[in-house]
């Protein structure tokens, strides 16, 4: 008897139809057709948003970086990178873009000598004309391609981008000189990235589980091993050490006695999910940002891919740049500062996660309260304290508030392509506070992890902004 296995990938979702006997195909035909239609619709939406041809006048060159970021978002989603890796990817691509455009404006200064380990960056050749906007995008492409799996996503777009430059009348000699400089900067940033201990961390020993009560253990439905237990060994950009902003408040001590502080925080999660309002569920799902949610239905396994928390905040950074009509260099500045704050935020957060090794709500609720209970969101495979999304949100919102000001109202459309409506926020801090609360509503974090996580992220970002300058004044 023949079997059939189908892999489909469209618009951030991968559908894997496990081996099916041919005589069973009728039973799955409706689901197969429905899945394909949904995926094609999502794919068309993403293509329509990303393939817009840019107006390459000086006033509209800011759109260059937004288009490149859109492509990088697509690659990160498609490759299913988890939050720590996503923050790393966004950082190196945007550092390269920033360093290649800095020489075009004397008000801006290089990150060399400011961020850990970056000492020298190539400078443009003398007496050679360079289009720094083009060079910046080539540097972005060069560094970005090196830190993702879907390399062709950026390579194909680079070819298209260069054709646009030529079609718009840019001299071939200028194109070549600009590409060469951008490639040189991008290559230098790749070499810089190779020394951040990421490669070495790939060979470290697996995380060792402990049977001590209250410690983290793999969670349903996939019971995956602990993810990135050594991320605190990755080189930060501005932190002195991964533990520099270790939360002062420790997690509530484990105690399964009814009425204990631990019991009460556990029941707060349980009761919140059980009695959730429609708005609370909407908030939980809006900020889910899980890069790979697995859904199993019989023979059909669906992997739903979305933006990560870093991707969500980088998307909102682009929205703010567009709303404020920032030019190219100021947009690149915004992207690189937010990305670096996210990168250092996750190092600080993961350092605490594997220090405290705190249990997730689903584990203890299933054991002590209701064995059939499930959170709204799928619990990610790493310890609970502190909340990663809260830390990301604290870091990014602090950086964005520094750039655009407090009380900066905006409409977030980042989740439209994933089937969610837009949401309105009065400020970046308000968005961050909602993101932190979403983890309670989703049933995957206790309240202290959210409160202390957002405070942790804000401290990390404040430190970076105090010690890394992009402008002379």
Q: What is the pLDDT of residue 418?
A: 87
The residue among 6 and 388 whose pLDDT is bigger is 388
pLDDT-wise least confident of 30-39, 64-73, 153-162, 223-232: 30-39
Kindly report, residue by residue over 167-203, the tens digit of the pLDDT: 999 999 999 999 999 999 999 999 999 999 999 999 9
The mean pLDDT value of the chain amounts to 89
Q: What is the pLDDT of residue 59?
A: 59
Q: Which two tokens stand for residue 55?
A: 């107006």
pLDDT-wise least confident of 34-48, 401-415, 443-457: 34-48
Q: What is the pLDDT of residue 297?
A: 56
Q: What is the pLDDT of residue 32?
A: 45
Residue 361: pLDDT band (50, 70, 90) is: very high
Q: Are strands 293-297 and 300-304 parallel, antiparallel or unpaired?
A: antiparallel
Q: Note if the bond before 386 is cis, omega within 30 degrees.
A: yes
Work out the average pLDDT over 358-369: 98
Q: What is the pLDDT of residue 298?
A: 57
pTM: 0.88
Q: Are strands 423-425 and 300-304 parallel, antiparallel or unpaired?
A: unpaired
User: Cβ(91)–Cβ(453) under 8 Å?
Assistant: no
Residue 294: pLDDT band (50, 70, 90) is: low
Q: What is the pLDDT of residue 193?
A: 98
DSSP string, 72-135: HHHHHHHHT--HHHHHHHHHHHHHHHHHHHGGG-TTB--STTTSTT------PPTT----HHHH
C-alpha dist (Å) from residue 312 to 235, 319, 338: 23, 11, 11
Work out the average pLDDT over 344-370: 98
C-alpha dist (Å) from residue 414 to 176, 307, 409: 35, 9, 15
d(C-alpha 314, C-alpha 400), whole Å: 10
pLDDT-wise least confident of 20-34, 129-143, 241-255: 20-34
Long-range contacts of residues 41-47, Cβ cutoff 8 Å, at least 24 apart: 41/11, 42/10, 42/11, 42/12, 42/13, 42/417, 42/418, 42/419, 43/10, 43/11, 44/11, 45/11, 45/416, 45/417, 46/11, 46/12, 46/74, 46/417
Q: What is the pLDDT of residue 296?
A: 57
Work out the average pLDDT over 424-428: 98
- Asked if residue 35 has pLDDT above 70, the reply is no
Residue 211: pLDDT band (50, 70, 90) is: confident
Kindly report, residue by residue over 66-100, the tens digit of the pLDDT: 999 999 999 999 999 999 999 999 999 999 999 99
Angle at 120 between CA 119 and CA 124, to 5 degrees: 160
Q: Which two tokens stand for residue 412?
A: 């977030």
d(C-alpha 16, C-alpha 300), whole Å: 6
Kindly report, residue by residue over 116-174, the tens digit of the pLDDT: 999 999 999 999 999 999 999 999 999 999 999 999 999 999 999 999 999 999 999 99
Residue 350: pLDDT band (50, 70, 90) is: very high
Q: Which two tokens stand for residue 377?
A: 């969101």
Residue 427: pLDDT band (50, 70, 90) is: very high
Kindly report, residue by residue over 452-472, the tens digit of the pLDDT: 999 999 999 999 999 999 999
pLDDT-wise least confident of 39-53, 199-213, 239-253: 39-53
- Asked if residue 357 has pLDDT above 80, the reply is yes
Q: What is the pLDDT of residue 156?
A: 96
């Amino acid at each position: 008897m023949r079997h059939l296995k189908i892999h489909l990938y469209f618009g951030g979702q991968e559908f894997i139809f496990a081996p099916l006997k041919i005589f069973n195909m009728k039973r799955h035909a409706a689901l197969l057709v429905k899945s394909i239609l949904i995926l094609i619709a999502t794919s068309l939406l993403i293509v329509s948003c990303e393939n817009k041809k840019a107006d390459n006048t000086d006033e509209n060159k800011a759109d260059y970086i937004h288009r490149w970021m859109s492509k990088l978002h697509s690659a990160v989603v498609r490759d299913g990178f988890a939050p720590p890796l996503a923050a790393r990817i966004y950082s190196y691509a945007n550092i390269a873009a920033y360093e290649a455009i800095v020489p075009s404006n004397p008000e801006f200064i290089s990150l060399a000598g400011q961020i850990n380990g970056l000492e020298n960056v190539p400078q443009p050749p003398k007496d050679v004309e360079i289009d720094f906007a083009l060079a910046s995008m080539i540097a972005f492409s060069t560094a970005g391609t090196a830190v993702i799996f879907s390399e062709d996503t950026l390579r194909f777009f680079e070819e298209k981008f260069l054709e646009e430059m030529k079609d718009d009348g840019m001299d071939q000699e200028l194109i070549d000189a600009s590409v060469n400089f951008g490639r040189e900067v991008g290559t230098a940033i790749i070499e810089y990235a190779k020394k951040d201990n990421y490669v070495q961390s790939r060979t470290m020993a697996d995380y060792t589980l402990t049977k001590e009560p209250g410690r983290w253990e793999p969670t349903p439905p996939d019971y995956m091993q602990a993810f990135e237990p050594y991320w605190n060994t990755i080189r930060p950009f501005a932190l002195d050490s991964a533990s520099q902003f270790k939360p002062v408040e420790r997690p509530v001590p484990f105690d399964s006695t009814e009425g204990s502080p631990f019991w009460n925080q556990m029941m707060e999660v349980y009761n919140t999910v059980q009695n959730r309002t429609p708005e609370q569920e909407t908030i939980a799902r809006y900020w889910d940002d899980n890069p790979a949610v697995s859904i199993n239905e019989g023979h059909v396994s669906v992997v739903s891919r979305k933006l990560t928390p870093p991707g969500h905040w980088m998307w909102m950074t682009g929205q703010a740049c567009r709303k404020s009509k920032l030019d190219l260099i100021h947009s690149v500045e915004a992207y690189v500062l937010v990305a670096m704050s996210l990168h250092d935020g996750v190092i600080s957060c993961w350092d605490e996660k594997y220090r405290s090794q705190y249990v997730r709500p689903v584990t203890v609720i299933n054991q002590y309260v209701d064995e059939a209970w499930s959170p709204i969101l799928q619990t990610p495979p790493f310890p609970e304290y502190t909340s990663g999304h809260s830390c990301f949100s604290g870091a990014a919102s602090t950086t964005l508030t520094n750039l655009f000001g407090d009380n900066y109202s905006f409409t977030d459309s980042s989740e439209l392509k994933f089937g969610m409506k837009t949401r309105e926020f009065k400020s970046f801090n308000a968005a961050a506070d909602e993101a932190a609360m979403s983890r309670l509503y989703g049933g995957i974090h206790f309240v202290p992890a959210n409160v202390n996580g957002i405070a942790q992220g804000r401290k990390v970002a404040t430190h970076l902004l105090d010690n890394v300058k992009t402008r002379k004044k």
